[in-house]
Structure 1
């Protein structure tokens, strides 16, 4: 009886104490407007809330006593407030957040192992927010990143295919990641784009420099991590947004619908997207035949957060029909022509001119790529005392088909299926003596198969990667020091691969015993090894003025095309020749940076010197007369080379945001990189023609002036207008051996745009509007990294223009309706 009474008394006291718990409520504002979906939490606890559409929040069941409350939202400076809660009390705390005009306080995770402020990382890191992605209206996510991050460029094959370069290095040297999962989709190919839903990306993080320490091979130049939206909203209420996008030049119509639902510890998110566009146009070429595309995306996420950590499972489905530009023309009128026959019957100089009705249609022509990319992955974190274990596993499949036969539209010239299993497990140890240390192991297992096709540029292969690393960081007074070391091994193998010709004259896979069998890819097995590491420090002269220095050694094993190719990549119109003897690439990069985030301006100077051993690049082959080696269909032949190389340069930014003129931002950036070919044998043979590396972007200057009204005008809030100048210098520092590259003239583009939010009477945002004009004066230009520049069949042109030009003037309008 006594025990029962004691238990009853204990329960009664507990209930009484719980009833006396306190609560906090209030409102979060910014720029005189309610700030929706801001995070408000009690510091040192898991108690928190999210502001609703009108900026209001409430946190209940807070134990009485002295507490500190913080409010934060992406793009705004965090704010804290202290309070003393008495039992059963309810107090009001309002927050007014200021918009961040610099990126000093943004938290990123790319290239490091724990959440790290930009200012504390010696590794050059840049971020681009959803707001900037929306303002920089483009046809794909990579082009939006190029606009927002100095030092990042892209090689393109029309409006929808962009492959990122970081400081002059691209292809398998830039590791593309989607939500922390490395993107695997035959990225060795020139015309193989990034298979990601641009409308589903919430922000992007860019590491400029070797990031092999945490990711292994293929991060020699850096990392681009595209992070999808995280479910947000009020608990128990369905939220979402509907987006529509239109571009006048190629008639692009994009639609995307995203919905999210939060309930207690669970979050759910689903997004579907469709895009379609016809051929684009410019003042020189008119309508560019073969540049239309159609794309569909579907993605979903379910996540649960508990006291033990969190678990998330996500899936994405990508489907793209992408026409393949051919570039053939009538020699006099320069109008585009199209193939109507196969093989030797196809006379390039006698092809018919493309009818006008086929130049502006959304129907996808017979010559196209069909790409599907499927992915499922899971992120998990388990809290163990003061440390935590993070485990990521994923499976993805890339299916690539290229259809190039006008009389046999269902016959694939290329059909590759790539299966990849990714794994990443790392343990963040408890902080010890100021050291924050991480131990990890990650890698992938990959299989590639050629299916029923007629061309085979690469063999079937198996690949297994594994790497282990240790990374640590510590603050020592004004210094933030970090570094680590990693060891990688890659096993690459394939069996004998025989090809032959069927009764209709098309190529096919055959057995070794079949008559006429040709051993196109003899068996191969090789183990690649590499050690990488980094050491760097940030010196905080003050909270706003920083000096950074970093030394890094990167590692990259040769990709399958570089070591194993021996055939036609039909979509690229290139015959590749690899080299089995290639060694892994290693680089040693030195970075030094000065950053000042001041009251009225931001200044950053980032300089780098990158020395690469065993650098691999492709060079065009020519005959004894100096003419390019081509087959009957005009396909060029490229053979991979290997040499030493050096790249150096830097980025400079100056952003003005005067406090006396709070509505004004004047942003400027300058990026320069020079690539030197250190192959002494080539230099002795070809002289200055072999002095430089290929695919190096010229001097790039970007300037933007943007004005944003701080107060509403009727139903319109956040009204902005912007004018942008995008200038590229002449590039004559080229790899000119066998005309692999040709000089590119400089050019200046002007872009302009306006936008606003439209509010309802209740104060809730009804929609966001973005209007933009790119290439305002319809400038005819060719980017140095535009692959279509080399799509030319004639030695001379009647209008003195060769190859295909970039897009002309383009008006775009985007509407986002949140609900």
Structure 2
């Protein structure tokens, strides 16, 4: 620990011994200067804006190769790789007018390329885009991305599903480190707020090469909001109101930066009453309160870049059950969950002579309580996780890039409640990887290999033969994984991506040790200490076409999983509850997504977006897997316009989502009928005199349709999903 602190302090004390600058001008095809273009170097967390004559400049830059991004409304995003090896580097660029979407930098893959250069197809969505679609929660917004769904418990708990896989099979990253918050439980939500989150990247498919165990089904990678531009300060205040839950969300953020130092802070408070179904009834105890606080500190010079972030999130969530007497208004009733989540991260980059070294250090503390009464803490689990991720970028040639890295974590789980869901345990991970990226002409080949080892040691608890007995488990799980990807330009506007990758997931403690009733599902679940790794092989094919007015994509995948872990009924009962064992069988999931985006000339303000997504999951014996989302057909009409000078960057949208009937069900599921949801959205920037603010208005489930999602945990009780919900949002920037 002392050596770590010494290294950290030395890093912050490095003094720049020289100054490298990057400057240039930005113009259109008529050589007219473009003002207010955002110019950023994402890797260095540096950003500036072009002046009235299109000029921009960065000071105090390290030597090396960096991706420079140029973006402005009405122009195509441009990304240029620049080699900075002189005191002064000049880069002039020309931007083309367009109404197509921007080509975003992808952070979740190791080479941090823009999507058009990336071998792996990664979905990128800004949180602002998700909110414009009317998403009331972060996970609800994620479920609007093709191939992503959510397992929900009312409006308060949502678990992401990627192509039919969820729970520990989907790894979540925030602040550059893995989130650990007992993801194995159906009633355990994501546990994070969208306040202070700029965007999300979704890897659909095995990402074990990049992240190790638990990335079998995919990765959600949340990008934190950026610091302020150099030598500037800013802030914003955001207020939202929700008609259905009579809820509100208040967010305040402040940030300031000098040339070298950066600071930001953000606080958010949300409160929601019970949600209302179309019949007018309230679903008792679906209320919740969320508090969230974030702080960030950054420092950079020509040798070193460091970023420290801390996030505290508190969730007070009511758990809906029968025979709860409704009282109060917003305060969650018993039973309820009270969850504290602390997340600290330190991201560092050292710029060496011909290469660089990155290190991500993380610590999370998840303090989860389930309270049956004011004086009765039924469940109390303390999960502490220390993680590290170190990558060395080898010297780059003209065409070849190579990275070697080591990742791992040390995790402890401790019980303090009257009941025990999983035993006290310690988990240790270590993984070693190497991956390379080779480019020639319009082709890119990427390949990698990785070895992982996970050791799980749990403690013995209880009396043999009784509920709550946990046999001590001492298990070692290991796996070799590899990936191979190829991207090519079939012709000018058509891109083909083909990827093949293996992934793995070690069994979690619940699957290894369970011995008791799983509340909310009325199942007596029995674990299996002899479970083996889940090991999969997935092939993906992606085809994308895009010109100035028409875009098309088609994704297809086949995912074969050896030793897939699932619950199987035994046909017996204990204390009136059906008994289920954790067992294994080979399984396969297959399907894909297809979609178009059309904005006809000269009606560039009109956007027609349509997509269809499908996934099927089966065991080798022909039985269907549980919790597979229904096929979905989504259509959106969006218009963009300005009304003189007082209403700028305005939009209006109409969205129709058709969820098809789900009759491909497991042995303990029931079929779900089809339904259609109609959603509206409207918003823009209002300028009245000196008063400027952003306004948004959304109507979700406008027709107040009564429906039950196939992935709703309240489905077994026949409780419909939320009815009509009007969301009003106001944002002030200062």
What TM-score comes out, normalization by structure 1 length?
0.80
Aligned residue in 1 for 2:169? 173
Deviation at 1:435, TM superposition (A): 1.2
Q: Residue 725 of structure 2 is aligned with which of 810, 814, 817? A: 810
Deviation at 1:639, TM superposition (A): 2.7
Q: What CA deviation, in whole Å up to 9, does each residue of 1:143-196 have, x standing for no partner?
A: 11111x200111111112111111111111111111221110000000101111
Q: Residue 716 of structure 1 is aligned with which of 647, 670, 680? A: 647
Deviation at 1:755, TM superposition (A): 0.4
Which whole-Å CA distance do the structure 2 matches of 1:586 and 1:47 have between them? 37
Which whole-Å CA distance do the structure 2 matches of 1:752 and 1:190 have between them? 31
Q: How big is the alpha-carbon RMSD for the aligned residues of Structure 1 and Structure 2?
A: 3.3
Aligned residue in 1 for 2:207? 211
Aligned residue in 2 for 1:320? 315
The verdict on how the C-alpha distance between 1:375 and 1:100 changes in structure 2, with shifts beyond 3 A counting, is farther
User: What does 1:380-399 correspond to in 2, within 5 Å?
Assistant: 380-399=348-367
Q: Residue 617 of structure 2 is aligned with which of 652, 670, 675? A: 675
Which whole-Å CA distance do the structure 2 matches of 1:587 and 1:325 have between them? 36
Matched, 1:438 2:434: no
The verdict on how the C-alpha distance between 1:162 and 1:71 changes in structure 2, with shifts beyond 3 A counting, is closer
The verdict on how the C-alpha distance between 1:692 and 1:305 changes in structure 2, with shifts beyond 3 A counting, is same
Question: What SS does the aligned partner of 2:209 have?
Answer: helix
Matched, 1:520 2:469: yes
Matched, 1:647 2:589: yes
Which whole-Å CA distance do the structure 2 matches of 1:52 and 1:229 have between them? 21
Deviation at 1:777, TM superposition (A): 0.4
Deviation at 1:34, TM superposition (A): 9.4
Aligned residue in 2 for 1:778? 704
Question: What SS does the aligned partner of 1:269 have?
Answer: strand
Which whole-Å CA distance do the structure 2 matches of 1:771 and 1:52 have between them? 32
Aligned residue in 2 for 1:300? 295
Matched, 1:561 2:534: no
Which whole-Å CA distance do the structure 1 matches of 2:689 and 2:636 have between them? 33
Q: What CA deviation, in whole Å up to 9, does each residue of 1:390-413 have, x standing for no partner?
A: 0010111001000123xxx23111
Q: Residue 48 of structure 2 is aligned with which of 21, 46, 50? A: 50
Contact 1:266-1:305 at 8 Å conserved across structures:
yes
Deviation at 1:366, TM superposition (A): 2.5
User: What does 1:231-630 correspond to in 2, within 5 Å?
Assistant: 231-233=227-229, 235-284=230-279, 286-326=281-321, 328=322, 337-338=323-324, 354-355=325-326, 358=328, 361-405=329-373, 409-432=374-397, 434-451=399-416, 453-498=417-462, 520-570=469-519, 574-620=523-569, 622-623=571-572, 629=573
Aligned residue in 1 for 2:131? 134
Deviation at 1:378, TM superposition (A): 0.2
Number of residue pairs matched? 699
Uncovered stretches (5+) of structure 2, i.e. residues with no partner: 1-17, 61-66, 81-89
User: What does 1:187-226 correspond to in 2, within 5 Å?
Assistant: 187-226=183-222
The verdict on how the C-alpha distance between 1:781 and 1:304 changes in structure 2, with shifts beyond 3 A counting, is same
Aligned residue in 2 for 1:798? none
Which whole-Å CA distance do the structure 2 matches of 1:636 and 1:139 have between them? 36
Question: What SS does the aligned partner of 2:714 have?
Answer: helix
The verdict on how the C-alpha distance between 1:752 and 1:321 changes in structure 2, with shifts beyond 3 A counting, is same
Q: What CA deviation, in whole Å up to 9, does each residue of 1:494-544 have, x standing for no partner?
A: 122236xxxxxxxxxxxx9xxx99881122201001111110101112342
Which whole-Å CA distance do the structure 2 matches of 1:27 and 1:478 have between them? 27
Matched, 1:741 2:669: yes
The verdict on how the C-alpha distance between 1:724 and 1:316 changes in structure 2, with shifts beyond 3 A counting, is same
Which whole-Å CA distance do the structure 1 matches of 2:33 and 2:57 have between them? 21
Question: Going by fraction, where is strand more abundant, 1 or 2?
Answer: 2
The verdict on how the C-alpha distance between 1:573 and 1:494 changes in structure 2, with shifts beyond 3 A counting, is same
Which whole-Å CA distance do the structure 1 matches of 2:674 and 2:542 have between them? 28
Contact 1:569-1:576 at 8 Å conserved across structures:
yes
The verdict on how the C-alpha distance between 1:255 and 1:567 changes in structure 2, with shifts beyond 3 A counting, is same
Q: What CA deviation, in whole Å up to 9, does each residue of 1:227-258 have, x standing for no partner?
A: 1101124x443211111111100112000111
Matched, 1:732 2:693: no
Which whole-Å CA distance do the structure 2 matches of 1:546 and 1:323 have between them? 48
Q: What CA deviation, in whole Å up to 9, does each residue of 1:433-474 have, x standing for no partner?
A: 6210000010111000001x2211210000000010100011
Contact 2:195-2:266 at 8 Å conserved across structures:
no
Contact 1:471-1:483 at 8 Å conserved across structures:
yes
Q: Residue 114 of structure 1 is aligned with which of 81, 103, 111? A: 111
The verdict on how the C-alpha distance between 1:805 and 1:630 changes in structure 2, with shifts beyond 3 A counting, is farther
The verdict on how the C-alpha distance between 1:809 and 1:54 changes in structure 2, with shifts beyond 3 A counting, is farther
Deviation at 1:617, TM superposition (A): 1.4
Aligned residue in 1 for 2:4? none
The verdict on how the C-alpha distance between 1:108 and 1:312 changes in structure 2, with shifts beyond 3 A counting, is same
Deviation at 1:427, TM superposition (A): 0.5
The verdict on how the C-alpha distance between 1:28 and 1:196 changes in structure 2, with shifts beyond 3 A counting, is farther
Which whole-Å CA distance do the structure 1 matches of 2:707 and 2:392 have between them? 50
Which whole-Å CA distance do the structure 2 matches of 1:136 and 1:130 have between them? 10
Contact 2:99-2:548 at 8 Å conserved across structures:
no
Q: What CA deviation, in whole Å up to 9, does each residue of 1:282-306 have, x standing for no partner?
A: 1247100110000100011101121
The verdict on how the C-alpha distance between 1:74 and 1:280 changes in structure 2, with shifts beyond 3 A counting, is farther
Question: What SS does the aligned partner of 1:491 have?
Answer: strand
Deviation at 1:559, TM superposition (A): 1.1
Aligned residue in 2 for 1:508? none
Matched, 1:158 2:90: no
Deviation at 1:106, TM superposition (A): 1.6
Which whole-Å CA distance do the structure 2 matches of 1:292 and 1:487 have between them? 44
Q: What CA deviation, in whole Å up to 9, does each residue of 1:311-337 have, x standing for no partner?
A: 1111010111000011x2xxxxxxxx3
The verdict on how the C-alpha distance between 1:594 and 1:311 changes in structure 2, with shifts beyond 3 A counting, is same
Which whole-Å CA distance do the structure 2 matches of 1:47 and 1:546 have between them? 30
167-176 or 284-293: bigger deviation: 284-293
Q: What CA deviation, in whole Å up to 9, does each residue of 1:571-609 have, x standing for no partner?
A: 665543211110000111111111101221110011011
Q: What CA deviation, in whole Å up to 9, does each residue of 1:739-770 have, x standing for no partner?
A: x10000010000001101012547xx821111
Deviation at 1:223, TM superposition (A): 0.4
